[in-house]
A and B are shown apart, each in its own frame.
Chain A
Amino acid sequence: MRVAIAIVALVLGSIVFHLLSPWWQTPLASNWDSIDSALHITLLICAIAFVSLNLFLALAIVRFRHRPGSRAHYAPESPRLEKTLTFWTGLGIVGMLAPGLVAWGKYVDVPKDAAVVEAIGQQWQWTFRYPGPDGVLGTAGVQYMTPDNPFGVNPLDPFGRDDILVQGNELHLPKGKSVKLVLRSKDVLHDFYVPEFRAKMDLVPGLVTYFWMTPTTIGTFDILCAELCGVGHHEMRGKVVVEPRESFEAWLGQQESFNQLLAMSSPDAVTEMFRKANSCSTPATWGVR
């Protein structure tokens, strides 16, 4: 009996907790309202199942708890009832899965006009690279890295010369412009995670991964690492500044390009960069769109 009361109390308590909880999604700052809706639909269907199943459990305990002389009903199975329940469960599953897959359909479909920006992870900081006026990122990789070329941009790739390199932990994005975030890791797994954007993706050394989104709210948000990357994992922070187009352009104009970096480096350093690049097998195609 007490356990039935406890079940009812926990169900009601969970609902009250849900309604009063100060912990809920951060305000959405990207186009991914479809992810939020899929989450809300899933929550609603699951909540209905949670409440009804547990109340049924409590009711069964109250009604059929042992009393002197009581005896259970003998009923091995009921294929009809089981089929009915399977049908309704299937319907609930479809109700959740459909909006989930529709949202995923958008997630994997990067708009053709999305701007490309690269986020690079390393233990335990973020750096960023913009493609420059040509709109194409030059090839890059750890095989091209030297102390003076920390981004590992291939100096032989003409598309890379105008790339804009951002050393700080700060990413700037113009509001309202779709962006394909191309992700690259220099060392271990990381994950580019901005709670307000909802979207996230792992950075995998040896691979270039990506996701896309459109920032919709002006403001500054935290970038966190969401894939365990060693002792500094919790301190791997960055900031993303979403701002109007004009101030974004102004900020971008102040950043250093790879050409400028080459110009400022000592001749020895530049020689070393080219020596390293020449010793790599040259890729047949240049640039990453």
Chain B
Amino acid sequence: MATTIADDLRPMHHPKTWVGKYVWSQDHKVIAIQYGVTAIAIGLVALVLSVLMRLQLGFPGLFPWIQPENYLQYVSMHGMIMVVYLLTALLLGGFGNYMIPLMIGARDMVFPFVNMLSYWIYLLSVLVLVSGFFVPGGPTGAGWTLYPPQAISEGTPGNQWGIVTMLGSLAIFIIAFTMGGLNYVTTVLQARTRGMTLMRMPLTVWGIFIASIMGLLAFPALFVAAIMMLLDHLLGSSFFMPAMMTMGQESSTQGGSPLLFQHLFWFFGHPEVYIVALPAFGIVSDLISVHARKNIFGYRMMVWAIVVIGGLSFLVWAHHMYVSGMNPYFGFFFATSTLIIAIPTAIKVYNWLLTLWRGDIHLRVPMLFAIAFLFTFIHGGLTGLFLGNVSVDVPLSDTFFVVGHFHMVMGVSPILVIFGAIYHWYPKITGRMWNETLGQIHFWVTFLGVYAVYLPMHYLGILGVPRRYYALGETSFIPESAHLANEAISVAAIVVFAAQFLFFYNMIWSYFRGPKADPNPWGAASLEWQTPETPPGHGNWGPRLPTVYRWAYDYSVPHAARDFIAQNEPPSADAPSEEVLP
């Protein structure tokens, strides 16, 4: 640990071979890239699965090789990959790893070896997950929620082998996450450089820090649920399995509770929403502040909002279960706690908007994505109030309204932030600049396209169209026009899908051919832009660690020469320091 906060670089474990530098690397930056590339690669699988789902929903019958069992497998794998293996891994393993040491002025994570293990175990979990596509019966089709009994009983695709690979992979992922999460938390607490008080940290670090603590508390619930379901499935125990019939035969199980699983799942699952959202909140705060040349409005309130949201999110899980058959009186409590969480969340939105107000807004690609995030997050946050408000949830639960809501709030919104963040930090990470035109096209198609995909879904849901349906079939209440809507949504989804290849092309091409980037092209004040080398070298800071004199948001300070003052710039007589704030 001592090495990460020492001025002296020599005690660090410097790799001597190519393999040591890029494969079995203990450098947080390389591990971050490994995490990021792996997460995006598996995310591409999820993206393809979503297109397959849209092909079936938009053009039912046109693709005879998509059978009901395939459709359910696409649904399940898409959901789990996006939530856990893409978003969690990319935001914490990717951005967390890259940003924490650079933003707090450390040389590396405090446990570099554990950090390396974390990545390789994550990779193993991804491989086990992917193996599900090749086992007999294919991957599980129980929905990403994996509710028993159907996850491990007849009539569900992948109930023999697919569910085993899924649960095993989740357990392995959680081990990997725990190694990473402990590292992130300890590094933030122990390895901040001179002058970097907690209340001077950029909100990106705050978001990742609190999300990591939440992950350490929430994932164990999923871990035990996965282990218990594996025992039910492989050893015939009855944690979640009641006495029941299965395909006309009486099961040998008895006395288990399917609801117990749902409580465990959502005790993890709801905090998980914020494990994804809080890093995105933090990152977008920094994007907005930098590109509006203005300090984040109400920094202290923003920090407390992150902490309060993190705490409250452990008290709202059963709002996913209003119609699950649990004691209905729970509804009063969980509706109230759920709607209370809207208050700190709304404060964050106000403060982002107030940061823009009287700013000097540079509409570059990262900022465009941040603005698009504000729009989609406002939309997705508000529709969450419908579903949190217990009685309003009853007609909407398990309809396309839910699909529209959660994609808007925890799919589209964080992914827009991720795009913005990649464009924002790409010049620091690679030392090169991406192509502006391609970035603009990618932004416009993605932003407008996703709204065309998800807005109509809310209305289909209000109409009553149920989710997770392979085909709508004949009903008296779904008009022909709803099928037309599904067709239009599918076309929009395919266009958005295609536009992502512009992004990949831009990133890969620019890595080799892009123009050399300025070390601090956006004029950002936070520490990661002040490294002596771009990209930062091993140990990040050269011979001496930086000293921090101010918070990360000294933009457009009156009378200052430039419109930003770097965190490590010593106070001088003519420029007032940040001591406007404590």
Contacts and interface: CB of A to CB of B under 8 A. Distances in A.
Given A89-B342, A206-B243, A46 B463 contact: no
B359 A60 contact: yes
Contact of B477 (A57, A65, A222): A222
B556 A10 contact: no
B329 A202 contact: no
B237 interface: no
Contact of B398 (A34, A53, A191): A191
B383 A23 contact: no
Given A75-B297, A195-B395, A61 B389 contact: no
A207 B397 contact: no
Given A189-B150, A201-B323, A203-B325, A42 B385 contact: yes
Interface residues of A, number: 103
Contact of A46 (B294, B386, B553): B386
A14 B455 contact: yes
A1 B569 CA distance: 34
Contacts of B298: 76-78, 82
Contact of B371 (A7, A42, A53, A187): A7
B243 A195 contact: no
B361 A61 contact: yes
Given A46-B386, A145-B245, A66 B563 contact: no
A233 B470 CA distance: 8
Interface in A124-183: 124, 141-143, 145, 183
A206 B460 contact: no
Given A74-B295, A205-B258, A234 B244 contact: no
Contacts of B255: 206
A93 B150 contact: no
| Chain A interface main SS type | mixed
Contacts of A39: 386, 392, 395-396
B385 A96 contact: yes
Nearest to A147: B248
A76 B329 contact: no
A103 to B, nearest CB: 4
Contact of B294 (A35, A72, A123): A72
A96 B389 contact: yes
A237 B462 contact: no
Contacts of A85: 346-347, 350
Interface string B346-365: 11011101101111111100
B58 to A, nearest CB: 16
Given A195-B464, A231-B69, A224 B335 contact: no
A251 interface: no
B37 interface: no
B574 interface: no
A79 B472 CA distance: 52
Contacts of A18: 459
B293 interface: yes
Contacts of B347: 82, 85-86, 89
A66 B361 contact: yes
A22 interface: yes
A100 B68 contact: no
B390 interface: yes
B468 to A, nearest CB: 5
Given A46-B386, A86-B347, A204-B324, A188 B153 contact: yes
B343 A89 contact: yes
Contacts, number: 334
Nearest to A196: B477
Interface string B239-275: 0001111110010000111110000000000000000
A188 B155 contact: yes
Contacts of B386: 39, 42-43, 46
A145 B248 CA distance: 10
Contact of B346 (A89, A101, A188): A89
A116 interface: no
A262 to B, nearest CB: 21
Contact of B356 (A35, A64, A183): A64
Contact of B155 (A207, A224, A229): A229
A96 B339 contact: yes
B156 A230 contact: yes
A73 B356 CA distance: 10
A221 interface: yes
Given A96-B339, A101-B332, A10 B389 contact: no
A57 B245 contact: no
B346 A186 contact: no
Interface stretch (B127-135, B374-382, B505-513): B374-382
A82 B352 CA distance: 12
B94 interface: no
Contacts of B368: 3
Chain A CB within 10 Å — which of B245, B250, B256, B482 has the most? Answer: B245
Interface in A219-240: 220-222, 224-235, 237
B556 A73 contact: yes
A199 B361 CA distance: 48
B309 to A, nearest CB: 14
B481 interface: yes
B186 interface: no
A75 B258 CA distance: 53
Chain B CB within 10 Å — which of A64, A82, A104, A145 has the most? Answer: A104
B224 interface: no
A6 interface: yes
Interface string B486-502: 00000000000000000
Contacts of A25: 395, 462-464
Nearest to B70: A231
A86 B68 contact: no
B573 interface: no
A49 interface: yes
A6 B448 contact: yes
Contacts of A108: 328-329, 331
Given A100-B335, A203-B325, A205-B258, A198 B395 contact: yes
B141 interface: yes
Contacts of B197: none
A226 B401 CA distance: 13
A26 B475 CA distance: 12
Interface in B496-555: 553, 555
Contacts of A141: 243
B558 interface: yes
A31 interface: no
A26 B358 contact: no
B453 to A, nearest CB: 13
A205 B481 contact: no
A260 to B, nearest CB: 24
Contact of A231 (B157, B371, B390): B157
Contacts of B329: 108
Interface string A87-131: 001100100110011011101100000000000001110000000
A242 interface: no
B476 interface: yes
11 contacts: A23-B482, A66-B361, A72-B358, A75-B294, A76-B553, A104-B391, A189-B258, A195-B477, A205-B149, A226-B466, A234-B473
Given A21-B459, A187-B149, A198-B394, 6 more contacts: A46-B385, A61-B361, A89-B346, A105-B332, A191-B323, A222-B477
In order of increasing CB-CB distance, the 4 nearest A-B pairs are A206-B242, A195-B464, A230-B155, A209-B325
